[in-house]
Structure 1
């Protein structure tokens, strides 16, 4: 009996190592006290087991619970407290080998199902976020060709032709930098190449289909493939291409690519809230006005409020018909 008494005193001390040890203030144990202490220790052990179990996912392989079962048995036997179970054992369910199905249990598929869920694509081409690194639709950066213009992924050889097209300061009035200046254009161009290389954005050069003259640039940005969302923006054209149909066809090509081939369900646009011409052009697509982000950005002329517009996959059929009609009317 004395052996039993000492065993439960040690167990109580182990279950609450921060508090003053039980053995320092309890009188010599009798049978009644032994029973009370045993019940208290058992209750604490079971409560800790429930707490540990709640932290485990429901779809883990059976071996993942082994550490907790061993800890429960040890606590009841008075060998050690649950809160002293090595953290490595409690996290054993995260080991890569537990994702594989045991050779002697071919019927268990939890590991393979979990691995499949981590890799599978969502409907419409969207993908889950990796643990680290850039996120981008593989199909997003492609050459897009229309009847008036061609959109080509930006490259170093486009630098000087784009610089010539960007020479008018009026083009950059509402942009973040003034690309009509040498330093401003170089910052804009280097940033475009960097974002393309990092796969954070998909910038294009807008060229005439007949003759190949460089007219300007546009891009996909704010990529959210895990939510099937993307933005079209950073669009500018040489003044000679304004009202030529180039912008209308560029929007048609990019929206068609986003909705019909990439699988987007939302395409958004933002512009300076003071840019009346740009807002009218977006409303003519038509894109839906969704509000103004106040003091949203700092641009080369000061603080900018951004007006947001969007088109969803539900809107796309009507928007496509309207853009095609507008282009046909120009011919």
Structure 2
């Protein structure tokens, strides 16, 4: 176990990867993000998120403006470097520097990001920032216990399942039991090495398909 010490609060900085870039959310992202939401299965994709699909570019822009200057959460646009377009967002939240604990949440990866190397690198970039740059001890992922895709994603990304918090929240008028996952600073070096192996361009064919899967443990 690491020696307890405060971590550094995250700043609104750009996190650059090979395939994707995380940019602090600004109003100029609104059109791209609305395009990522204005899709036939939007209701399904938002089923377990705390909000409903945006109905216009203006609604996205108003939401972004409402978050400007807020220290917690910090929202990032997930930008595909090959196109320059934002295809989703994610945020750092429940930031507790004095205990070295931070959470990734409100993850919306649109169809051009979800289940691609962009999504994996987006998670890697924020984990790298959290552990290596800011000195956090614990990185959390939480989701509705009924959200099986999110739980599978957490485990694929190297988070460890810790249990179910019963009747934890009321979201959209319904009970939410919450599944808790975490990764710790002592686990990060091995997780980081596997992320970097998987993200290496040599692991992908000419169509961008993986040659070997991401595996932990």
Aligned-pair Cα RMSD in Å: 2.4
Please identify which structure carries the higher strand content: 2
Cα distance in 1 for partners of 2:147, 2:82 equals 31
Unaligned runs of 5+ in 2: 206-217
Verify the 8 A CA contact 1:125 1:262 in the aligned structure 2: no
- Greater RCO, CA 8 A, separation 6+: 2
Q: Which residue of 2 aligns with 1:151?
A: 22
Unaligned runs of 5+ in 1: 1-121, 128-136
Larger radius of gyration: 1
User: Aligned to 1:249, which of 108, 117, 121?
Assistant: 121
**Residues 1:310 and 1:201: Cα distance change in structure 2 (over 3 Å):** same
Runs of 4+ in 1 over 4 A off after TM superposition: 122-125, 188-193
**Residues 1:276 and 1:198: Cα distance change in structure 2 (over 3 Å):** same
**Residues 1:172 and 1:230: Cα distance change in structure 2 (over 3 Å):** same
Query: How far did residue 156 of structure 1 move?
Result: 1.5
Query: How far did residue 200 of structure 1 move?
Result: 1.7
TM-score, length-scaled by structure 1: 0.55
Map residues 110-259 of structure 1 onto 2, 5 A cutoff.
126=7, 137=9, 139-167=10-38, 168-182=42-56, 186=59, 190=62, 193-259=65-131
TM-score, length-scaled by structure 2: 0.82
**Residues 1:202 and 1:247: Cα distance change in structure 2 (over 3 Å):** same
Query: How far did residue 303 of structure 1 move?
Result: 2.2
Please identify which structure carries the higher helix content: 1
Q: Secondary structure at 1:240's aligned position in 2? A: coil
Query: How far did residue 179 of structure 1 move?
Result: 1.6
Offset from partner CA, 1:96-141 (integer Å, 9 cap, x none): xxxxxxxxxxxxxxxxxxxxxxxxxx986636xxxxxxxxx1x432
Verify the 8 A CA contact 1:176 1:298 in the aligned structure 2: no
**Residues 1:288 and 1:297: Cα distance change in structure 2 (over 3 Å):** same
